[in-house]
């Protein structure tokens, strides 16, 4: 329920932002006349305009943060901005809400502008994650060690105290890398010392694998273990056997085989 | 072979082995006629499937925690150091012909074995089938349930994957929580501190493939022998009295029906094993004591113990700075002990306090005929069911968006309140049904009245059932 509300609110915020942006474009900004390759400066400029209309209510004009509403974004870099915007976690419905994955509120062009603007204050860049370079087995080991405790070993997500550890079924390798380096919400931040760039490649490869794993054995009933298994056992298996018992368990009323026997 | 003995198989056996009387007794044994009498049989046949598939699995499983570098078919585990137990389970799933089918069928059969036992128990409790003289057999049945739970958990723990390791970690904590003896008991059982030494896997294995199945099979045999010795109980009905059994004889009618049931049980289990994935161990990965996954769960029949561990408030009893009763004791030991103690005590409780009827009974009661027992049993089972549901509260939170801490408090409240409500409502329903004399599932079964010569009406037969009703209806 909370997630749905948050998603709805985020979508509304996003929608408003888009309308505002469209109006801004119509006012004859550089966008219309810009060359195909938008220069960095103009990208930052349009990002600033977008930021002021869509983000500054919480993060402040100039991304300096507003006490009690939103943190400063100076120095978080393209890394955090790209992660939060690409996964739809920003904008938030309320400043205290848990940022949850949803559809991005902004189109790609605008996300690029916003990211460029936030990155203009400095800070870490988006990591270059190449799952192809990683090792699946290393990824499994690292994931079991560092990620499964919250996201479950099969990447299906779960709860932790006070928060939701999301399912990783939609996480792209780049987003996996960003989340590891950012540590969004209650997730710990893993620096290069904890998880190297090569290990990050392996992790991303494992998450990719989890989205289409070696899944023999038939219908995969959610891959979250014994809960759906128990439900299938009762609702399908036990129900079928009860039906069998009900059908063959009683003779017809005119059964000629009926006998009577006495005790002792 | 004489022509006579060829015609009569009983004669054939008698001439060679003797015992014709026993065989004739068996063949003419009468099974009463109600579908709910098949629930125990479903459990029996699930057990047969478990033995068959389990024997197959034991040929390939290696109960050994020695590790080796894995170079099998699973892409995500390549080059990892894993135990022989886990590696042989993987090999069984990837390379042995029919191995995965057998493993999945075995696991589904285990879940349904316990489900059938549970349904069977409910039938026995709600119809008063545990009363004298069947109280002894009822104790055996409750023991079978407890042993089947243990047997299931031992099997769940064998493959040394992440789930089984985490399950054992909880079992270790519960064993350690026994007051005073917990530490020595747990270390003796595990052969050292958690995760234990290699002897533990051997013990688990022998318990799972030999000791527990042997005890289960013996008790099942005794269970059945006692049923035959005492004869089946039956529901009341026309012509059915305390001193007789009305139904279908073993040969030829019931044996074939029962064979059909066996075929159906085996078919459902093998179909499930072939079509529905269960416990994909290769996706859970190997267990190491420093690993853990969110959302780890036991198989359903232990869900009520996980629920109890989660619901129990943070209470520990300390004496002089030493923890005498650690917290897992309450949910992991005390709660199941109380539930099983109630089950074992039921015949006595019923005789003494609930029905207050010490007589022998071979006729069953319909649940509505004994509102107090039915309501009490429903209340106790509902309490266990709530604790069971609490065991998966985290998934409910994730799937439906309840708050986890809120959910735990909700379940604590429900544990206290719902059984009371269930008691009141069940009792009310029983009383209503008893007055209306109507079967909730089978519709009307009222009285037949006939008009006599003087113009008055009188009931024809107080115990009329549908069949009689329709017979009368046709002829009058």
In the predicted structure, residue A6 carries a pLDDT above the cut 80: no
Q: Which residue has the tokens 């990719």?
A: A208
Are residues B22 and B167 located together in one domain of the fold? no
3-class secondary structure, B191: coil
The answer to whether position B49 is within a domain reads yes
pLDDT, residue B451, reads: 82
Q: How far is A202 from chain B (nearest CA, A)?
A: 11
- Kindly report, residue by residue over A102-116, the tens digit of the pLDDT: 999 999 999 999 999
Domain A131-211 in the same topology as domain A2-119:
yes
Q: How far is A98 from chain B (nearest CA, A)?
A: 13
Chain B CB contacts of A151 under 8 Å are: 294
Residue A30 near residue A42, CB atoms below 8 Å: yes
> How would DSSP label each residue in B314-337?
S--EEETTEEEE-THHIIIIIHHH
- Kindly report, residue by residue over A55-72, the tens digit of the pLDDT: 999 999 999 999 989 999
Residues B123, B127, B129, B132, Cα dihedral to 10°:
150
Number of domains in chain B: 3
In the predicted structure, residue B262 carries a pLDDT above the cut 60: yes
CB-count exposure of residue B255 (10 Å: 0-12, 13-18, 19+): middle
Q: How far apart are CA B52 and CA B113, in angstroms?
A: 14
Q: How far is A22 from chain B (nearest CA, A)?
A: 35
Which of the four pLDDT bands, split at 50, 70 and 90, describes residue A14?
very low
The answer to whether position B381 is within a domain reads no
Q: How far apart are CA A167 and CA B217, in angstroms?
A: 44
Are residues B200 and B300 located together in one domain of the fold? yes
In the predicted structure, residue A8 carries a pLDDT above the cut 90: no
Are residues B44 and B13 located together in one domain of the fold? no
Average pLDDT over residues B388-403: 80
Which of the four pLDDT bands, split at 50, 70 and 90, describes residue B396?
confident
pLDDT, residue B440, reads: 60
Are residues B150 and B16 located together in one domain of the fold? no
Residue B114, strand partner residues: none
| ipTM here | 0.89
Backbone phi, psi, residue A69, to 5°: -120, -50
Q: State whether B283 and A213 contact (CB < 8 Å).
A: yes
> How would DSSP label each residue in A147-191?
THHHH-TTS--EEETTEEE---TT--HHHHHHHHHH--TTSPP--
Boundary (domain end) residue, out of B365, B384, B411: B365
CA dist A57 → A20, A52, A71, B86, B440 (Å): 14, 8, 11, 55, 62
Q: State whether B362 and A263 contact (CB < 8 Å).
A: yes
Q: What is the mean pLDDT of chain A?
A: 85
Q: How far apart are CA B138 and CA B120, in angstroms?
A: 11
pLDDT, residue B445, reads: 56
Are residues B317 and B443 located together in one domain of the fold? no
In the predicted structure, residue A78 carries a pLDDT above the cut 50: yes
Q: Which helix (H) or strand (E) holds B458?
A: strand B457-459
Q: How far apart are CA B109 and CA B102, in angstroms?
A: 10
In the predicted structure, residue B327 carries a pLDDT above the cut 80: yes
Residue B123, C-beta contacts closer than 8 angstroms, at least 6 positions apart: B36, B39, B129
Are residues B85 and B168 located together in one domain of the fold? yes
Residue B153 near residue B304, CB atoms below 8 Å: no
Residue A54 near residue A91, CB atoms below 8 Å: yes
The answer to whether position B140 is within a domain reads yes
Least confident of B10-14, B156-160, B191-195, B396-400: B396-400
Where in the sequence is the domain holding B145, given as residue range(s)?
36-365
pLDDT, residue B98, reads: 95
Q: State whether A261 and B265 contact (CB < 8 Å).
A: no
How many CB atoms neighbour CB B217 within 10 A? 13
- Kindly report, residue by residue over A112-130, the tens digit of the pLDDT: 999 999 999 999 999 999 9
Q: How far apart are CA A84 and CA A87, in angstroms?
A: 6
* CATH number of the domain located at residue range(s) A131-211 in this protein: 1.10.760.10
Q: State whether A241 and B296 contact (CB < 8 Å).
A: no
Chain B CB contacts of A245 under 8 Å are: 35-36, 38-39, 42, 261
A residues 202-221 lying closer than 8 A (beta carbon) to B: 206, 209, 213-221
Are residues B272 and B224 located together in one domain of the fold? yes
Which of the four pLDDT bands, split at 50, 70 and 90, describes residue A1?
very low
The answer to whether position B253 is within a domain reads yes
pTM of model > 0.90: no
A residues 165-204 lying closer than 8 A (beta carbon) to B: 165
Which of the four pLDDT bands, split at 50, 70 and 90, describes residue A191?
very high
- Domain CATH code at residue B192: 1.20.810.10
Which of the four pLDDT bands, split at 50, 70 and 90, describes residue B274?
very high
Indicate the class that CATH gives domain A2-119: mainly alpha
In the predicted structure, residue A172 carries a pLDDT above the cut 50: yes
Which of A10 and A181 is assigned the larger pLDDT?
A181
Tokens of B157: 């723990």
Residue B201, C-beta contacts closer than 8 angstroms, at least 6 positions apart: B63, B64, B65, B85, B158, B160
Which of the four pLDDT bands, split at 50, 70 and 90, describes residue A257?
low
Average pLDDT over residues B316-332: 92
Q: How far apart are CA B110 and CA B212, in angstroms?
A: 14
Are residues B51 and B153 located together in one domain of the fold? yes
Q: Which helix (H) or strand (E) holds B10?
A: helix B9-16
In the predicted structure, residue A24 carries a pLDDT above the cut 50: no
- A258 close contact with B: CB closer than 8 A: yes
Are residues B208 and B334 located together in one domain of the fold? yes
- Kindly report, residue by residue over B337-366, the tens digit of the pLDDT: 999 999 999 999 999 999 999 999 999 999
In the predicted structure, residue B222 carries a pLDDT above the cut 80: yes
Q: How far apart are CA A172 and CA A170, in angstroms?
A: 6
pLDDT, residue B258, reads: 94
Chain A CB contacts of B100 under 8 Å are: 216-217
pLDDT, residue B3, reads: 54
Are residues B8 and B123 located together in one domain of the fold? no
Average pLDDT over residues A74-100: 92
Testing the interface with A: which of B35, B46, B295, B300 to mutate, by most A Cβ within 10 A?
B295
Which of A250 and A224 is assigned the larger pLDDT?
A224
Q: How far apart are CA A84 and CA A55, in angstroms?
A: 12
Chain B CB contacts of A209 under 8 Å are: 75-76
Are residues B4 and B67 located together in one domain of the fold? no
Which of the four pLDDT bands, split at 50, 70 and 90, describes residue B148?
very high
| 3-class secondary structure per residue, B89-114 | HHHHHHCCCCHHHHHHHHHHHHHHHH
In the predicted structure, residue A226 carries a pLDDT above the cut 50: yes
Average pLDDT over residues B300-311: 94
Task: Please tell me what DSSP assigns to residue B203.
Answer: H
pLDDT, residue B120, reads: 97
> How would DSSP label each residue in chain A?
-HHHHHHHHHHHHHHHHHHHHHHHHHTT-HHHH--SS--HHHHHHHHHHHHHHHTHHHH-GGG--BTTTB---TTTHHHHHHHHHHTT--S-SSTTSPP---S-SS-HHHHHHHHHHHHTT--PPPP---GGGS-HHHHHHHHHHHTHHHH-TTS--EEETTEEE---TT--HHHHHHHHHH--TTSPP--TTTS-HHHHHHHHHHHHHHHS----SSB-GGGS-HHHHHHHIIIIIIHHHHHHHHHHSS--TT-TT-EEEE--
Q: How far apart are CA B436 and CA B434, in angstroms?
A: 6
Tokens of A198: 């090569």
Average pLDDT over residues B102-116: 98
Are residues B201 and B251 located together in one domain of the fold? yes
The residue extents of the domains of chain A are: 2-119, 131-211
Q: How far apart are CA B134 and CA A212, in angstroms?
A: 54
In the predicted structure, residue A180 carries a pLDDT above the cut 80: yes
In the predicted structure, residue B461 carries a pLDDT above the cut 80: no
Average pLDDT over residues B27-38: 91
Tokens of B208: 């799972």
- For A148, the closest of B260, B278, B294 (CB atoms) is B294
Q: Which residue has the tokens 């075995």?
A: B106
pLDDT, residue B6, reads: 55
The answer to whether position B188 is within a domain reads yes
Query: Nearest-CA residue of chain B relative to A217?
Result: B277
Q: What is the mean pLDDT of chain B?
A: 90
Residue B105 near residue B265, CB atoms below 8 Å: no
Least confident of A12-26, A34-48, B139-153, B176-190: A12-26
pLDDT, residue A23, reads: 40
Which of A224 and A38 is assigned the larger pLDDT?
A224
The answer to whether position B222 is within a domain reads yes
Boundary (domain end) residue, out of B335, B365, B395: B365
The answer to whether position B225 is within a domain reads yes
pLDDT, residue B1, reads: 47
């Amino acid at each position: 329920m909370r997630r749905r509300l948050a998603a709805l609110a985020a979508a509304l915020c996003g929608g408003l932002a888009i309308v505002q942006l469209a109006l801004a474009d119509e006012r004859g900004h550089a966008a219309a006349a810009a060359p195909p390759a938008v220069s960095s400066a103009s990208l930052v400029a349009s990002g600033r305009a977008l930021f002021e209309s869509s983000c500054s209510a919480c993060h402040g004009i100039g991304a300096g943060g507003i006490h009690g509403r939103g943190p400063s974004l100076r120095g978080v870099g393209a890394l955090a901005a790209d992660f939060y915007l690409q996964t739809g976690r920003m904008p938030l419905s309320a400043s205290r809400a848990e940022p949850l994955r949803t559809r991005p509120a902004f189109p790609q062009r605008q996300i690029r502008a916003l990211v460029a603007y936030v990155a203009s204050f400095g800070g870490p860049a988006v990591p270059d994650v190449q799952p192809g370079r990683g090792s699946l087995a290393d990824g499994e080991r690292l994931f079991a060690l560092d990620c499964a405790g919250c996201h479950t070993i099969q990447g299906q997500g779960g709860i932790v105290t006070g928060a939701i550890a999301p399912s990783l079924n939609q996480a792209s390798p780049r987003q996996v890398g960003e989340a590891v380096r950012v540590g969004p919400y209650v997730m710990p931040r893993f620096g290069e010392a904890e998880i190297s760039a090569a290990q990050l490649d392996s992790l991303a490869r494992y998450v990719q694998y989890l989205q289409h794993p070696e899944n023999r054995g038939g219908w995969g009933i959610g891959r979250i273990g014994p809960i759906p298994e128990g439900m299938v056992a009762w609702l399908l298996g036990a129900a079928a056997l009860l039906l069998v018992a009900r059908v063959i368990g009683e003779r017809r009323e005119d059964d000629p085989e009926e006998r009577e026997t006495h005790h002792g | 072979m004489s022509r006579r003995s060829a015609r009569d198989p009983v004669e054939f056996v008698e001439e060679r082995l003797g015992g014709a009387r026993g065989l004739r007794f068996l063949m003419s044994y009468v099974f009463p006629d109600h579908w709910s009498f098949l629930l125990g049989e479903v459990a029996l046949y699930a057990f047969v499937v478990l033995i068959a598939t389990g024997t197959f699995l034991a040929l390939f499983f290696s109960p050994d925690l020695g590790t080796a570098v894995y170079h099998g078919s699973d892409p995500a585990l390549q080059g990892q150091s894993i135990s022989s137990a886990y590696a042989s389970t993987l090999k069984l799933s990837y390379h042995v012909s029919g191995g995965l089918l057998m493993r999945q069928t075995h696991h589904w059969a285990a879940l349904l074995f316990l489900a059938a036992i549970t349904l069977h128990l409910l039938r026995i409790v709600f119809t008063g089938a545990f009363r004298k003289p069947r109280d002894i057999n009822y104790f055996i049945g409750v023991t079978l349930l407890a042993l089947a739970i243990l047997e299931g958990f031992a099997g769940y723990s064998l493959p040394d994957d992440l789930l089984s390791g985490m399950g054992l970690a909880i079992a270790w904590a519960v064993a350690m929580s026994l007051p005073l003896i917990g530490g020595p008991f747990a270390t003796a059982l595990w052969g050292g501190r958690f995760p234990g030494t290699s002897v533990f896997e051997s013990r688990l294995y022998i318990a799972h493939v030999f000791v527990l199945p042997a005890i289960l099979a013996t008790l099942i045999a005794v269970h059945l022998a006692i049923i035959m010795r005492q004869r089946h109980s039956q529901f009341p009905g026309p012509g059915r009295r305390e001193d007789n059994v009305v139904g279908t004889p073993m040969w030829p009618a019931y044996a074939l029906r029962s064979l059909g049931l066996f075929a159906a049980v085996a078919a459902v289990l093998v179909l499930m094993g072939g079509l529905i994935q269960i416990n994909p161990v290769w996706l859970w990965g190997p267990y190491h004591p420093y690993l853990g996954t969110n959302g780890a769960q036991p198989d359903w029949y232990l869900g009520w113990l996980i629920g109890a561990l989660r619901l129990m408030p943070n209470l520990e009893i300390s004496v002089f700075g030493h923890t005498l009763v650690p917290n897992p004791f309450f949910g992991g030991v005390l709660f199941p002990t109380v539930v099983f103690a109630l089950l074992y005590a039921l015949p006595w409780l019923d005789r003494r306090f609930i029905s207050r009827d010490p007589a022998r009974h071979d006729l069953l009661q319909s649940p509505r005929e004994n509102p107090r027992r039915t309501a009490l049993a429903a209340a106790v089972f509902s309490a266990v069911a709530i604790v069971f549901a609490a065991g998966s509260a985290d998934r409910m939170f994730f799937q439906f968006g309840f708050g986890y801490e809120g959910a735990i408090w909700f379940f604590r409240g429900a544990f206290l309140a719902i059984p009371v409500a269930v008691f009141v409502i069940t009792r009310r329903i029983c009383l209503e049904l008893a007055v209306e004399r109507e079967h909730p599932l089978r519709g009307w079964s009222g009285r037949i009245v006939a008009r006599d010569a003087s113009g008055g009406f009188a009931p024809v037969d107080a115990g009329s059932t549908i069949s009689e009703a329709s017979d009368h209806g046709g002829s009058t």
